[in-house]
Amino acid sequence: MKRRDFVGLTGLATGALFVPSIPGFGNGTSVDTLRLLDAADDPAIKKRLADAALNAAKAAGATYTDVRIGRYLNQGVFTREKQVQNIVSTESYGAGIRVIANGTWGFASTNIVTEAGMAKAAQLAVAIAKANSVVQKEKVQLAPQKGFGEVSWKAPIQQNAFTVPIKDKVDLLLNANAKALENGASFVNSVLFQVNEQKYFASTDGSYIDQDIHRIWPTFGVTAIDRASGKFRSRQALSAPMGLGYEYLIPKAADKIAGPAGSDVFGYRNSYDMLEDIVRATKQVKEKLTAKSVVPGKYDLVLDPHHLGLTIHESVGHPLELDRVLGYEANYAGTSFATLEWKAKGTPYGSKQVNIVADKLQPGSLGAVGYDDEGVKTKEWDLIKEGKLVDYQKIRDQAHIVGQKESDGCCYSQSWQDVQFQRMANISLKPSPTKMSVDDLVKGVDKGIYIAGNGSFSIDQQRYNSQFGGQVFYAIDKGKITGMLEDVAYQTNTLEFWNSCAGSCDASDYRFAGFFNDGKGQPSQSSAVSHGSSTTRFNGVNVINTARKI
C-alpha cells in the first residue's frame, strides 16, 4: 500500500471508505461544520498575497507567473440502513504558484499563505523550472491572454448546502434508507457530498479573479439479495452530481421526466426527488433478481441521458482532449484515435444527427465557471457538427499547435496543491431541433433495449473499443417496452456507435449526467464534469450477455 492510501484509512476517514476518491477530502483538514460558513478572505488581502508571489517569481527570473489561492470546502454525510456511518467536513487552504522560467514550467505550492510563504514557494517554482529546463526541448508557448483586472464570478445557486443543518441532511438520507427497507431492500447506503471551491486567481497578465463554485451529489445504492439462490443485484440512484446548491434536493414536478411508457423509469433535471427514486429503485432491484437474461445479438439501443452521459464522456470527451491527442497522457490515460491527421481526412465521427458542443457555461452544470484556472474567460464551442469533427479542447500552452490564437478556457486543478492542466469541459449532445418524445423514439424500434442509468464502463487507451452496462434494462419489441432484462452490456467501436445514431428527443427531454471524479494526470487529479443530452437511439449495436457460472 502506498503511504497516501494509508493516510486515507486513518482516523480522518473512519468508516468512510468512499471518502478518498473525492477531491479535497483526502487532503483537507477536518473542521467543525460551522467553519464551512466562514466567509472567504477579503479579495484585497488575497491580492496582496498574490502580488507577493508574482513579484518574487519575477525577481527570481520567471517570465510568466500565475497564482491560485484556494479554499476548498467539502462535506460528506454517509449512512447505511438505519445508521449514520460518518459525517466529514473538511477545509483545505493554500496557494499554488506556476511559473515559466527558461521557457519551462515550474510549480510549487504552500499552505503557509503569508507574503513570505508565497514568495518562498514562488522562488521554489522558479528553481524547479530552471532545473527541468536543462533537459527541456520544446519551450512553452502561451496563447496571449488579456488581463481582466479585479473581477469576480459566483455560481448562481439558491441555497448554499453548508447552511442546511446536518440534522436535515441526516434525516433525508435515513428517510430514504427507511423507504428502501420498508419496500424490501436487503441493504441500502446513501451519501450526500457537497463541495465549495473559493478560488482566487492572479497572473502577470493583470487578472485578479475571485470565484465561488458549488457542487452537490446525493446518491444511494440499494441491494436486493435472494438468499435461497444466492443471487444479489443492486441499483444506484438516478441523480446527477450538479453545480447547484441544496435547491437540487427540493423536488419540483417540472424537473421530473418520464421514460418510455411501460419502463417505470423517471429522470430528473434541475432538482431531484431522492425519496421517490429510492422507492422505485427498490422495486426495480427486486425485479432485477428475476428479470430475463438477455439473448446476445444486435439491438437498437435507446439510451437515457443519465446513461448516455457516460458514453459521451468516454467516447467523445476524452478522445477530443488535445493533450491526449498529442501524447501528453500516453503513459496513463492514453492517447486518441482522433489525431490531427485523422481530423484532416474528414472521416465522419458520427451521423448527421450528431452535434456535440463543449462548454463551461451551462447553469447548473459541474463545469460552469466564469474563468478557468489559468485566467481565461469561459465559452461554448463546437466539437462535432453534423457528424464531422471540427475542434478539440485545448488550453493556453496548446492553442498554437492547432494554429489557434486563444485558449478554450478548460484548464483546471483539483486543489491549490496540484498543478493545473487541460481538463474536460462539459461535453453535450444537442437535442433534436424538431419535436420528438421518448415514446415516439421507442415507437420506431422493432427489436431493441432501453437502458437507463450509467453502470459498468471500460474503453481502450485510444478510445476505439468500449463496453458499457447500465442500471436498468428494458426489452423493446415492435415499438413497445415489454419487460425488464438483465446481464446486458454493449460493446462498440466509437465511430460505428456515433455513426449509428438515429436521432434524439427534443429539448424537453434534455438533462445532465455528471461525474465528480473524472481521473487524469500523474499524480492523478479529479475533475467534475457534466454531460447534457436527451434520450437518443442507436441502431444495430452489439449486445453481450454478462452472466457467468463460477
Residues 429-458 that bind other proteins (CB under 8 A): 456-458
**Length of the chain counted residue by residue:** 550
Contact call for residues 248 and 237 (beta carbons, < 8 A) = no
Residues 491-520 that bind other proteins (CB under 8 A): 491, 493
| Residue (164 or 361) nearer to other proteins, CB | 164
Residues 137-156 that bind other proteins (CB under 8 A): 137-138
* The binder of other proteins chosen from 330, 447, 477, 478 (CB under 8 A): 330
* The binder of other proteins chosen from 404, 461, 517, 539 (CB under 8 A): 461
Residues 260-299 that bind other proteins (CB under 8 A): none
The CB-of-323 to other proteins minimum distance in angstroms stands at 8
* The binder of other proteins chosen from 104, 355, 504, 536 (CB under 8 A): 104
The CB-of-493 to other proteins minimum distance in angstroms stands at 7
Site string for other proteins, 223-252 (x = CB under 8 A): x-x-xxxxxxxx------------------
Of 171, 157, 199, give the one whose Cα is nearest residue 71. 199
SS3 state of residue 24: coil
Of 379, 409, 404, give the one whose Cα is nearest residue 391. 404
What is the phi/psi pair of residue 300, to 5°? Answer: -85, 130
Residues 472-491 that bind other proteins (CB under 8 A): 487, 489, 491
> Does residue 465 belong to the site contacting other proteins (CB under 8 A)?
yes
What whole-number distance in Å separates Cα of residue 503 and Cα of residue 201?
42
> Does residue 32 belong to the site contacting other proteins (CB under 8 A)?
yes
Residues 367-386 that bind other proteins (CB under 8 A): none
**Number of residues binding to other proteins, judged by CB under 8 A:** 90
Contact call for residues 376 and 119 (beta carbons, < 8 A) = no
> Does residue 165 belong to the site contacting other proteins (CB under 8 A)?
no
Of 439, 503, 504, give the one whose Cα is nearest residue 476. 439
Name the E strands within 251-327. Answer: 256-258, 266-268, 292-293, 297-303
Which region holds residue 103: left if phi is over 0, alpha if psi is between -120 and 50, else beta?
A: left
* The binder of other proteins chosen from 55, 332, 351, 402 (CB under 8 A): 332
172 sits in which H/E element: helix 166-182
Residue type, 143: A
Name the E strands within 292-343. Answer: 292-293, 297-303
- The DSSP call for residue 315 is I
| Residue (62 or 157) nearer to other proteins, CB | 62
> Does residue 2 belong to the site contacting other proteins (CB under 8 A)?
yes
> Does residue 114 belong to the site contacting other proteins (CB under 8 A)?
no
The CB-of-524 to other proteins minimum distance in angstroms stands at 7
> Does residue 128 belong to the site contacting other proteins (CB under 8 A)?
yes
